[in-house]
Structure 1
Amino acid sequence: MIKVYAPASIANVKVGFDILGTAISPIDQTTYLGDCITIKKSDTFELYSSGRFVDDLPQVREQNIVFQCWQHFCKKIDDTIPMALTLEKNMPIRSGLGSSACSIVAALVAMNAYCSYPLDNNSLLRLMGEMEGRISGEIHFDNVAPCFLGGMQLILDANEIISQSLPIFDKWLWIIAYPGIAISTVEARKLLPDWYNRKDCINHSRYIAGFIHACHSKQSHLAIKLMKDTIAEPYRKKLIPHLFQIYNAVIKIGALICGISGSGPTLFAICDKSDIAINVAQWFKDYYLYNDTGFIKICRIDIKGAQILKE
């Protein structure tokens, strides 16, 4: 039996639209924030589902991304391998926390291990990006790369290098607030313009380049100052009512920055003190939860990425 866990992730990280993402895990270490895949031997292909958000999965097996992962994995290795898979769906769909990436990464890592590692990490990551593209409409790696490899990943996709790790700030606490509603990644992408003005392009280049420099030079305050979004946030703010009022409220409490996780509706805030993080988390609980399916977690960057729990 193979069991694999793949963590949640924050794409874009405000300053790096489609090229920056970080894996996250709760600081209490008592619960996983991600999906699990279990594979057992079988004479045929079987797919089962469980978990808190199992009811949100497609009812038709062929529409399940895990089934599609199996199809494409078998095509990639040129062999049809029977197996019994169970998806433990612990992540809400269309939450902005890399839910599809969790399922894709866990599934493909588990399949690769079950079949004695026919694919290297680069081939596996490229397949993950392709599977993610089937959901979002475009191939992108800013969720699957950190989910698979851990840490904060900068997407390069050049010279056979898909992504590389950035240095992280160990003191940063990441509060993630999922309100319990869904926003479609495809619909959120449709809000973005086809063309940007020169000033926005220059500013975006300056912010992301400066942020990367700040990470490597360990200038946490500079990194925070440069976490500005000129690409997506100005157009997606209409999806989250009172977005800038929310930002102002948590920053007034003491958060260093606040932003949209992926396409939303999950928001993230960064703090460098635990008491402030607790207060920010409480504010989100009081004012940002829409229903009982929402949740607030205080996290750190997950440096491990996908983990094989049983083999």
Structure 2
Amino acid sequence: MSVSVFAPISIGNVSVGFDTLGLCLSPVDGQLVGDIVRVEKLLKTDANSDQFILTGTHADKLPQDTKENIVWKCIVAFNTALAQLGREPLLIKVTLEKNIPVSSGLGSSACSVVAAFVALNQFYQLPFSEIKLLKMMGELEAQISGSLHYDNVAPCFLGGLQLMLNDENKITQKLPTFDDCFWVIAYPDVEVSTKAAREILPAQYERKTLIEFGQNLAGFVDACYRQDKEQAFSLLKDVVAEPYRKSLLPNFEKSILELKQLGSLASGISGSGPTLFTVFDDRESATKAKDWLTENYLQSEAGFVHICQVDHQGARKC
């Protein structure tokens, strides 16, 4: 018996919703950009403890000590929760196929955490509810980022555009999206850790900034429900983090100006960076932006650019 689950990339913050909005994306060319976790049953004749295998294009960037890997910690947490239900965990082999760079701003750790918990839950025939799984995902993700926020795990798990709520019984709410839009993401291959990106932010904000943040977020949510594309993307701007984090990204301000000339509806930093995102409502302009970013924003051959659309599925068997 075995189960494989794919967990897709996501944009945290989505500019206008610091730690409050998250968007799940998939490339339009059909590539599976994200992580895959496979869970297989082991026989006692084959092993006397759980096994973990690390593979994938970015496996070399993760801790090689099994017990330091976030997916191994997911196994431990899941087994503990199973035991609380009075169920004895089986011997398993878990394989993480790591295909997203760490500290990319695309929810890399969330991809691993979500894929692991969904695969384990599927393997054990769904012992845990969606809300219970989401809470366990958030707790594990917090071990990486240093604080509890769901703006990557929620969209990665549930798909679509998710609004985080201050309610432990309903952590997130799915919002309407503009499904005719194309989201171009560009990872330049420079490292910006979530910790460093948080430390660069001020400890306090002016009242004016807080009011503007609230107005922009409320206006964006309103526009999503009314499908007012012009209002939505005119408000898709970051007054909380981008003014401070943009210095961590290569040629960010120049890139934003060029993308606007190409017809971008909005641009911003994906999560804490260094990935940049930009939005278009036609494929031709998105392709031109992809070509420009490939030539001017990437810093090495390990960088990449994808044209994406909203992924409403989230984590799924593969």
When the two structures are superposed, what TM-score results if normalisation uses the length of structure 2?
Answer: 0.95
| Cα offset, 1:126, TM superposition | 0.6
* Aligned structure 1 segments of 4 or more residues deviating by more than 3 angstroms: none
Residues 86-122 of structure 1 show CA distances to partners (whole Å, capped at 9, x for unaligned) of 1011111110000000000000000111111111000
What is the Cα deviation at residue 192 of structure 1?
A: 1.1
Q: CA RMSD in A?
A: 1.0
Per-residue deviation, residues 147-200 of structure 1 (Å, max 9, x unmatched): 000000000041610001000001110000001122100111111112111000
Aligned to 1:50: 55
In the TM superposition, residue 80 of structure 1 has moved relative to its aligned partner by 3.9
Q: Which residue of 2 aligns with 1:213?
A: 222
Whole-Å Cα distance in 1 between the matches of residues 185 and 312 of structure 2? Answer: 17
Query: In the alignment, is residue 27 of structure 1 matched against residue 28 of structure 2?
Result: yes
Q: Tell me the amino acid that sits aligned with residue 202 of structure 2.
A: P
Residue 241 of structure 1 deviates from its aligned partner by 3.4
Distance 1:66 1:241 in 2: 31
DSSP-derived class of the 2:178 partner: coil
User: Could you tell me how far 1:236 is from its partner in structure 2?
Assistant: 0.8
Following superposition of structure 1 onto structure 2, how do residues 225-240 of structure 1 map, counting pairs within 5 Å?
A: 225-240=234-249
1:38-86: CA deviation from partner (whole Å, max 9, x where unpaired): 1111142000011111111111111100001111111122244421001
Which residue number corresponds to residue 71 of structure 2? 66
CA distance in 2, matches of 1:134, 1:51: 22
Q: Deviation of residue 250 (structure 1)? A: 0.8
Q: Give the SS at the match of 1:161.
A: coil
- Residue 39 of structure 2 corresponds to 39
2: CA distance, partners of 1:147 / 1:159: 19
In the TM superposition, residue 237 of structure 1 has moved relative to its aligned partner by 1.4
Matches of residues 1-311 of structure 1 in structure 2 within 5 Å? 1-29=2-30, 31-42=31-42, 43=44, 44-78=49-83, 79-158=88-167, 160-309=169-318
- 2:250–2:297 CA contact under 8 A, matched in 1: no
The code of the aligned residue for 2:129 comes to D
| Structure 1 gap segments, 5+ residues each | none
In structure 2, the residue corresponding to 1:228 is in which secondary structure? coil
Following the alignment from structure 1 to structure 2, what is the Cα–Cα distance between the partners of residues 203 and 80?
Answer: 50
Q: Tell me whether 74-83 or 238-247 shows the greater mean CA deviation.
A: 74-83
Q: Which amino acid in 1 is paired with 2:32?
A: Y
Quote how far apart the aligned CAs of 1:242 are.
3.0
Q: 2:134 is paired with a residue of what secondary structure? A: helix
Identify if the C-alpha distance between structure 1 residues 112 and 58 changes in structure 2 by more than 3 Å, giving closer, same or farther: same
| 2:17 counterpart letter in structure 1 | G
Q: Helix, strand or coil: the match of 2:171?
A: strand
| Amino acid in the other structure paired with 2:18 | F
In structure 2, C-alpha distance between the alignment counterparts of 1:159 and 1:104, rounded to whole Å: 19
Query: After the TM superposition, which of the residue ranges 214-223 and 248-257 deviates more from structure 2?
Result: 248-257
**CA distance in 2: counterparts of 1:157 and 1:75, whole angstroms:** 26
Identical aligned pairs, as a percentage? 44
More displaced stretch, 262-271 vs 112-121: 112-121
> Partners of 1:288 and 1:53 in 2: how far apart?
21
Instruction: String of CA shifts for 1:184-228, please: whole Å, max 9, x gaps.
Output: 001111111121110000000000000000000010010011111
The 1:271/1:65 distance shift into structure 2, 3 A limit, reads same
Instruction: Find the aligned partners of 1:37 and 1:155 in 2 and give their Cα distance.
Output: 26
TM-score (norm 1): 0.97
Partner SS, residue 38 of structure 2: strand
CA distance, structure 1, for counterparts of residue 250 and residue 64 of structure 2: 31
Aligned equivalents of 1:102, 1:66: Cα separation in 2: 10
Compute the displacement of 1:21 (Å): 0.4
